[in-house]
Amino acid sequence: MAVREHRYRITVEHLATPREDQPLRGTLTFEDGNHDDLFRIVELQRGSGRFGSEDEAAAFAIGLKLLSEAVLRHRDDPLLQQLKAPIGDFIRQLKAENAARSKSVA
């Protein structure tokens, strides 16, 4: 049977705390799927010039795509239903702005 989504292993490492008396936490690793190629999405956001660093662009892209996929996957959940339209509108606007930026650079 063919896989119907991209599969990813996401790893979060705790590197620092805001205060010296706080302990570092261990590594958090989980797997999830997404209908989009997250590497391509990160590449687009890094190239958008919108963020101060490549890491910030990657964090934005991954966070948005993980959230939006969870909303899609659980579209019958009343709480998550509240996010469906605003996230959809936001992503459409983001894509339109990215397309406009690409045209102005070309």
Is residue 72 a part of any domain in this protein? yes
E-strand spans in 18-90? 28-34
> 46 with 27: CB under 8 angstroms?
no
Section 64-86 average pLDDT: 96
Is residue 36 a part of any domain in this protein? yes
Is residue 1 a part of any domain in this protein? no
For residue 71, the domain's CATH number is 3.10.20.850
Is residue 30 a part of any domain in this protein? yes
Q: What is the pLDDT of residues 33-52, one digit of tens each?
A: 999 999 999 999 999 989 99
Domain region containing 42: 6-105
Is residue 93 a part of any domain in this protein? yes
pLDDT band at 104 (very low <50, low <70, confident <90, very high): confident
Is residue 66 a part of any domain in this protein? yes
Q: What is the pTM of this model?
A: 0.86
Section 73-99 average pLDDT: 94
Section 69-80 average pLDDT: 95
In the chain, the number of structural domains is 1
